[in-house]
Amino acid sequence: MVKNDVKVLGAWPSPYVMRPRIALNIKSVNYEFLEETFGSKSELLLQSNPVHKKIPVLIHGDKPICESMIIVEYIDEVWTSGPSILPSDPYDRAIQRFWAAYVDEKWFAAMKGLRSAQGEERKAFLDQVTEGLALLEEAFGKCSKGKAFFGGDRIGLLDIAFGSFLGWLKVTEKLNGVKLLDEAKTPGLVKWAERFCADAAVKSVMPETEKLLEFSKVLAAKMKGAPPPKN
């Protein structure tokens, strides 16, 4: 595969951008990483994702593929010689897709709420986040069936979906002075997180927590200074 036949448009802090990069690493596919400048959108991004104007975008040949988990499934379907990212059994596939959607639509939504909330609202989001982690701990037990990852022996769809948020999870723990992944309450996930972050497909794209912490401050400052959002 020619290196510049596969491009990923993205940015290093984004958990969504991590997902296709991990998937491509699993498949040993070389790709060019085109980093967007924070605060602006390149012509290429606007052309290849005109609907959302968001990263990540995978450009394969001349075809843009958008939406991180849709990109991951695309990568799994195209590069069939590498290890599979989705399980072969349709029910197991449905379970992985269900939990991946849960992580994005419910759990991370609560994590984002936690970032800017105060007082009672903050406690409510924190409760939602910890309840979600309890559910994911249980899901881990069922999906992994005693093995290292949600996907079994190797990283799979749900590992990628949830694991990509671990950097921001650690930042949230530091900023809020809480332990979200806890040896007492979520022992399975604690060990899973260590294995995930240490995996060869993940290591090179998982940002260091200190760098993310610094970036979160830049992001917070920008959001405070930004004009009020249009509805």
The residues of the shown chain that bind another protein, judged by CB under 8 A, are: 51, 60, 63, 65-67, 70-71, 73-74, 77-78, 90-91, 93-94, 97-98, 101-102, 135, 231
Alpha-carbon distance 178 to 188, whole Å?
A: 18
Q: How far is the CB of 104 from another protein (least distance, A)?
A: 10
- Of 155, 173, 171, 175, which Cα lies nearest the Cα of 163? 155
Closer to another protein at the Cβ: 92 or 182? 92
CA torsion, points 129, 130, 135, 137, in degrees to nearest 10? Answer: 120
168: number of Cβ within 10 Å: 20
**Considering the complex, what minimum distance in angstroms separates the CB of residue 213 from another protein?**
30
At its nearest, how many Å lie between another protein and the CB of residue 120? 22
Of residues 144, 160, 152, the one with CA closest to residue 76: 160
| 3-class SS letters over 170-207 | HHHHHHHCCCCCCCCCCHHHHHHHHHHHHCHHHHCCCC
Q: Strand 6-10 relative to strand 32-35: parallel, antiparallel, unpaired? A: parallel
CB of 85 to another protein, least distance (A): 13
What SS3 state is found at 41?
A: coil
Distance CA 48, CA 60 (A): 11
- If the CB atoms of residues 63 and 145 are measured against another protein, the closer one turns out to be 63
Nearer to another protein, 97 or 191 (CB): 97
> Which one, 107 or 192, has the nearer CB to another protein?
107
- Enter the DSSP assignment of 54: -
Q: At its nearest, how many Å lie between another protein and the CB of residue 37? A: 25
Q: How far is the CB of 209 from another protein (least distance, A)?
A: 30
Q: Nearer Cβ to another protein, position 77 or 210?
A: 77
Pick 118 or 231: Cβ nearer another protein? 231
